[in-house]
Amino acid sequence: MTEVTEHMKAKRYDALTSLKGIFIIGIAVVHFHTEVGRPYNNILNPVFNMAWYYGNQYFFMVSGFLMCCAYRDRISGQETDIAGFVYGRLKKIWPLYILTNAFVLLCTIAMSHGWREEFELKRMISAGLMISSGWIEDVYPYNFPTWFICVLLLCYLIFYALAKLYARHRDMYYAALLCMIAWGYILEIKEWSFPFCYHNDGVGFFNFFTGVLVFDLLSLLHERLDEKRLLAVRAAGLSVLIALHILFVIFGIEEVCGDTQFVATLFVLPILLMLATAGGVAERVLACRPLVAVGNSSMYIFYFHVPVITVYSIVNYYKGYTIRPEEGIIAYVLAIAAICICFTVYDRIGAVRRGAVKERYDH
């Protein structure tokens, strides 16, 4: 087990968890802007301008990073089989996925007149199986941000196959890893319309497997460099982030990077992963309790922010209410916070009950 792995397991990914929360809040704000309107232009402009580029990319990248840390050695060492691996992933993501998609579908039916494409049985089944985006067809699920989950599941399956190579064929493993990153780049650039070769697949493959590779690169840094040199690397990384932020604010990210997001992704996100796991000031700041609490709720924010927007649309549709975006975002934030608190309390109660059952079993 590498030093990075030991350090991250000891810290329980707190800094990375906080980053997840920060990015998902950005995505939720952007979706509010697209569906309802843009509030507080001057204050939230950086979020509107950059959340599109970094939100989903970071989630894919950190998913690959953490997956490599937690599961690669277990898979390559035959400690988990494909059934157990897939079941573990589905147990975490499927219930809320199906619940929120069903809710948005019912709301869509309530606001519709006559038959619509969304109500086709084929699409309902593919959405329920988490293969509606990036698999045989590229159709957004009803709770549209959850296309990410469909592509992420595909990345998990490919990762499992690659991890099998790691123990016995290390060179083949890294060659296949680089091929997946290159393939993701090609898919996003070309935007083909073939099964498993869609634009969304490219976003997932490129960032997820870059996250896997970044884990190994950071492990190598920790093994080869002393603390003084690691401090210099962290300072250089932070300087690059500050310079890029200034550049993107002055010129706009599209002017600097063009139509593709890979330049920004490759410069920004791996540096964030490094700073969040390197044990410096950045990690200590990100590991503070309020940010970690937001990060722990990131999955609920992700699943439920569009259903909350959908409720607003229903109220507006039936009652004719129209509120200013500045007022609406306050209600939006409060509603999402209430949902997060309810599910967090439910999770804690469940954890206490499981602990009590385990204690009785042990005795």
The stretch 187-192 carries a mean pLDDT of 86
CA pair distance 196, 153, nearest whole angstrom: 12
Res. 42: pLDDT tops 80 = no
Task: Give residue 135's pLDDT.
Answer: 94
**What pLDDT digit, counting tens, does each position of 117-168 carry?**
667 888 888 989 999 999 998 988 989 899 999 999 999 999 999 999 998 8
Query: What confidence category does residue 172 fall into, taking pLDDT thresholds of 50, 70 and 90?
Result: very high
DSSP secondary structure, 333-349, as one string: HHHHHHHHHHHHHHHHH
CB 291 within 8 A of CB 18: yes
pLDDT above 90: percentage of residues in the chain = 30
Which of residues 26 and 12 earns the better pLDDT score? 26
Q: What confidence tier does 106 reach under pLDDT thresholds 50, 70, 90?
A: confident
CA angle 105, 143, 196 (to 5 degrees): 115
Closest CA relative to residue 50, chosen from 227, 244, 336, 341: 244
Domain boundaries, the chain: 3-362
pLDDT given for residue 8 in this prediction = 54
Instruction: Tell me what the pLDDT averaged over the chain comes to.
Output: 82
Q: What is the pLDDT of residue 253?
A: 64
In which band, very low, low, confident or very high, does the pLDDT at 347 lie, cut at 50, 70 and 90?
Answer: confident
Question: What's the pLDDT band for 242 if we cut at 50, 70, 90?
Answer: confident
Structure tokens at 207: 């960032």
The whole-number pLDDT of residue 12 equals 55
Give 310-331 pLDDT, tens digit per residue.
888 787 777 666 777 777 888 8
pLDDT at 230 over 60: yes
Q: What is the DSSP string of 154-180?
A: HHHHHHHHHHHHHTT-HHHHHHHHHHH
Whole-angstrom CA distances from 183 to 49, 191, 267, 324 are 27, 12, 19, 44
pLDDT on residue 252: 66
Residue 360 clears pLDDT 70, i.e. is over it:
no
Residues 6+ apart with CB under 8 A from 14: 286, 287, 292, 295
Give the model's confidence band at 299: pLDDT under 50 very low, under 70 low, under 90 confident, else very high: very high
User: Can you give the pLDDT at residue 101?
Assistant: 92
* Six-digit token string for 146: 């959850």
Region of 280 on the Ramachandran plot (φ > 0 left; ψ -120 to 50 alpha; else beta): beta
Give the model confidence (pLDDT) of 80-104 as tens digits: 889 999 998 998 899 999 999 999 9
256 band by pLDDT with thresholds 50, 70 and 90: low
Q: Say whether pLDDT at 225 is over 80.
A: no
